[in-house]
Structure formats: structure tokens, C-alpha cells
């Protein structure tokens, strides 16, 4: 009787989003283990993700399932008590403190370069691509990197700081096409090793360090996919670090996933399995952190492009999975599929965004010309 009530409650919630259990639509859910319903009701999104990892359900187009759940606000009705613990933990502990700065590198970015080489574009750019004029992932990522360089008004001989440089794709683009000298910092040893191999002969210096340890001056600063790992307790420190690292009248570009609301916690499943100690900033939190430091010159939102990017990564991952499946195993496969597809659905629903902020330091006389 109790199990029937639990199932009925979950079915009622999902039906509001047009999702059925054992239905015929590609976004409908096919149950393999009835424990699924209790898991969803007790643990919310964390339970849904863990149930998928356990093989308790299948779905042909899970990206569409998540899109419909978000689009109908069902995730609010299914919030779990466990989220309250995460909220209290986020308030009490600086989860992105300097002592914890290298956790994300060890647990996510150091998973294995083979995985990311098979999933990403040829330059291994692990952030939202720019699809305005592109037909392929390679072109969309190249266009994004060039967009950033043009927004920063790069010129030959300029010194650039790339915070969270990844595998060096942007640093190489700036060095090759704009004649700049780049210092790239990362908390991932695996990323830096491969970035160094790919960047031989270029004026790029890769350093294994936390952003708080930067003590040089640069003509421009770029931060792509780093703000998501800074944490709301450290946003002011992050902006102050950039401020002291930037020469007067220089430009800063922040490329970040963003939330529509100023929350203090991230999705519990994403935090536990994909990006530990992560947090999505709101536009208000970012601009507040920049007060009395910078002038906001431009804000560009192309969040829907992340949906396309994630689906391109997903297709590459599926196509190449057989090459790495022995190393990573079935549970990782299901975890990674859930990650890519659920994030694609979230961007499709516009619950999360992709922003590029351009800030300037000091009294810039000329009007900043926004680039698109």
C-alpha cells in the first residue's frame, strides 16, 4: 500500500511535466527497479541520478526528460530534505577554500585525458562553444576562442593571464593568432601535462597553482569555466585577485555558467559525482563582487549554445565509448551519460545560462565596442 502511494505521488509529479512511466514518448521513463520511486521522493535530483547509475530505469531521450521537468518547475516540488543539509554546510564551510582548491582537479579534470580527447573538439576546449556561424564542434570552439580574443582587444606582445587554462586551447589560439604571451594556471596536473605537450614552441607558461597565488601583472585576464569553482564566499577575493593582477585600463573576460537565482548550493548530484565543491554564480553575485573594482563594459548571454555543445560532447562520448569502456566501466558510463544529458536539458529549459562578462580596470576613455 505504501509503495503504491509513493509510486502514485511520483507519477503525479512527472505527469505534470508530460512524462509518463512506461509511456511511448522518447522522454518517458521505463522502470527496471521499483525502488526508483522511493529514491526520487526521498532524495530528489540526487536520487534520480543515483537510480540511473544503478540501472533502475532507462530513457531514450533523458535530455528531453530533464528539459520537461525543469520547464514545468517539477524540481521545486521534489526538493529533498537532504538539500537543507547541503545548504547549512555551504553556509558553515568555505568549500572552495585554498586548502580545498585542488580537489576539483584531482576528482574531475584528472579523470583521464583519453576520456576528454575522445569527447571534446580537436583543441580540447571544455567549455561552451559559440554556434552563431558554426556547423561543427571544432568550428564552434574556434569561433568562441576568437570571440574572447576580440572582446579582450588582444594585440601582439600583450601578456595574458588565463585562469583555469584547461588543456591550453585558448592560450594557443591567443599566442598563434594574436601574438600574445600567455600564463596559464590550473589545479589539474593531467591538463597541464598535455597542454605543455600541445604548446611547444609557443610563448606560453603553464603553472600548477591556485588563483590566489598569482602575483604578477598582466595586460588582460581571461577566466573560462573557473568561476563555477570559486564559491560564493570567495567571489570578492577572486575579483580582487584579478584586479591586482591587471594593469590599469586592462580588460577582464569572465566566461561562466550562471544561475537565475543567487543560491548558495549547487545541484546535489552534480556536487557529489561530477564537480565537487562547485557553485553556479548569479549575475547579481558577480557584479556585486566587482563593485568598486571594475567597470562592467559588456554582458553577453548565449546559454542555448551550451545545449548544443553538450549534445555534441554526448554524441562523441557515445561514438567513442567502446575505446575506453574497459578502463572506466558501466557505472561510470551511466554516470557520464546522466551528467551530459541532464545538463543539456537544464540549459534547454533556460534555468541556467552561459555568460561572458567584460570588465575594465581604471578610467577607459573610449567607448567599449561590444563584439558578437
* Alpha-carbon dihedral sign for residues 208, 209, 215, 217: positive
Count of all residues that appear for the chain in the document: 372
Q: pLDDT digits over 238-285, tens only? A: 999 999 999 999 999 999 999 999 988 788 899 889 998 889 999 999
Catalytic residue among 128, 149, 266, 343: 343
- Contact between 260 and 282 under an 8 Å Cβ cutoff? The reply is yes
The C-alpha cell of 99 is what? Answer: 586548502
User: What pLDDT was estimated at residue 97?
Assistant: 42
User: What pLDDT was estimated at residue 219?
Assistant: 98
**Among residues 255, 181, 256, 165, which one has the least CA distance to residue 220?**
181
**Among residues 136, 343, 126, 342, which one has the least CA distance to residue 255?**
126
The C-alpha cell of 293 is what? Answer: 573594482
Instruction: Taking residues 290-299, report their average pLDDT.
Output: 98
User: What pLDDT was estimated at residue 153?
Assistant: 98
CA 157: distance to chain centroid? 31
- Contact between 169 and 141 under an 8 Å Cβ cutoff? The reply is yes
Q: Where are the domains of the chain?
A: 1-82, 111-361
- As a whole number of angstroms, the distance between CA 183 and CA 181 comes to 7
DSSP 78-136: T--THHHHHHHHHHHS-TT-GGGTTHHIIIIITS-HHHHHHHS-TT---S----SS-SS
The answer to whether 343 is a known catalytic residue is yes
User: What pLDDT was estimated at residue 78?
Assistant: 45
Q: pLDDT digits over 101-124, tens only? A: 446 556 677 788 999 999 999 999
pTM, to two decimals:
0.92
- Contact between 211 and 226 under an 8 Å Cβ cutoff? The reply is yes
DSSP 336: H
- As a whole number of angstroms, the distance between CA 228 and CA 57 comes to 30
**Among residues 64, 29, 61, 23, which one has the least CA distance to residue 48?**
29
- As a whole number of angstroms, the distance between CA 327 and CA 318 comes to 15
CATH number of 111-361: 3.40.50.150
The C-alpha cell of 133 is what? Answer: 556561424
Q: Give strand pairing partners of 185.
A: 163, 207
Mean pLDDT of all residues in the chain?
90
Residue 21 DSSP SS3: strand
**Among residues 112, 220, 129, which one has the least CA distance to residue 171?**
220
User: What pLDDT was estimated at residue 43?
Assistant: 85
- As a whole number of angstroms, the distance between CA 145 and CA 123 comes to 10
Q: pLDDT digits over 47-86, tens only? A: 999 999 999 999 999 999 999 998 887 655 444 434 433 3
φ, ψ dihedrals at 22, nearest 5°: 70, 25
Nearest 10 degrees: CA dihedral of 105, 107, 113, 116? -100
The mean-pLDDT minimum among 77-86, 132-141, 170-179, 251-260 falls in 77-86
- As a whole number of angstroms, the distance between CA 106 and CA 127 comes to 18
Find the helix or strand (DSSP H, E) in which 70 lies: helix 62-71
Amino acid at each position: 500500500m505504501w509503495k503504491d502511494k509513493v509510486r502514485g505521488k511520483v507519477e503525479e509529479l512527472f505527469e505534470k511535466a508530460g512524462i509518463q512511466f512506461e509511456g511511448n514518448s522518447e522522454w518517458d521513463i521505463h522502470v527496471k527497479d521499483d525502488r526508483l520511486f522511493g529514491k526520487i521522493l526521498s532524495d530528489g535530483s540526487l536520487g534520480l541520478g543515483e537510480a540511473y547509475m544503478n540501472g533502475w530505469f532507462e530513457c531514450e531521450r533523458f535530455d528531453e526528460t530533464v528539459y520537461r521537468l525543469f520547464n514545468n518547475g517539477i524540481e521545486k516540488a521534489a526538493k529533498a530534505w537532504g538539500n537543507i543539509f547541503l545548504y547549512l554546510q555551504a553556509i558553515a564551510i568555505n568549500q572552495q577554500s585554498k586548502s580545498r582548491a585542488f580537489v576539483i582537479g584531482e576528482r574531475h579534470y584528472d579523470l583521464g585525458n583519453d576520456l576528454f580527447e575522445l569527447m571534446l573538439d580537436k583543441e580540447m576546449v571544455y567549455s561552451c562553444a559559440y554556434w552563431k556561424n558554426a556547423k561543427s564542434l571544432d568550428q564552434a570552439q574556434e569561433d568562441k576562442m576568437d570571440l574572447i580574443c576580440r572582446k579582450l582587444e588582444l594585440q601582439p606582445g600583450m601578456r595574458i593571464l588565463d585562469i583555469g587554462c584547461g588543456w591550453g586551447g585558448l592560450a594557443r589560439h591567443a599566442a598563434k593568432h594574436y601574438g600574445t604571451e600567455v600564463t596559464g594556471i590550473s589545479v589539474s596536473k593531467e591538463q597541464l601535462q598535455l597542454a605543455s605537450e600541445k604548446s611547444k614552441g609557443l610563448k606560453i607558461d603553464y603553472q600548477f597553482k591556485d588563483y590566489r597565488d598569482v602575483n604578477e601583472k598582466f595586460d588582460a585576464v581571461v577566466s573560462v569555466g573557473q568561476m563555477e569553482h570559486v564559491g560564493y564566499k570567495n567571489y570578492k577575493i577572486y575579483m580582487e585577485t584579478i584586479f591586482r593582477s591587471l594593469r590599469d585600463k586592462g580588460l577582464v573576460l569572465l566566461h561562466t555558467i550562471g544561475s537565475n537565482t543567487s543560491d548558495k548550493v549547487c545541484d546535489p548530484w552534480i556536487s557529489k559525482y561530477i564537480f565537487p565543491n562547485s557553485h553556479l554564480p548569479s549575475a547579481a553575485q558577480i557584479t556585486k563582487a566587482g563593485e568598486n573594482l571594475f567597470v562592467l563594459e559588456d554582458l553577453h548571454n548565449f546559454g542555448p549554445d551550451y545545449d548544443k555543445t553538450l549534445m555534441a560532447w554526448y554524441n562523441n562520448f557515445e561514438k567513442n565509448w567502446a575505446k575506453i569502456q574497459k578502463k572506466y566501466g558501466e557505472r561510470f558510463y551511466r554516470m557520464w551519460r546522466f551528467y551530459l544529458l541532464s545538463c543539456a536539458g537544464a540549459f534547454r529549459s533556460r534555468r541556467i545560462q552561459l555568460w561572458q562578462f567584460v570588465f575594465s580596470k581604471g578610467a577607459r576613455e573610449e567607448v567599449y565596442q561590444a563584439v558578437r
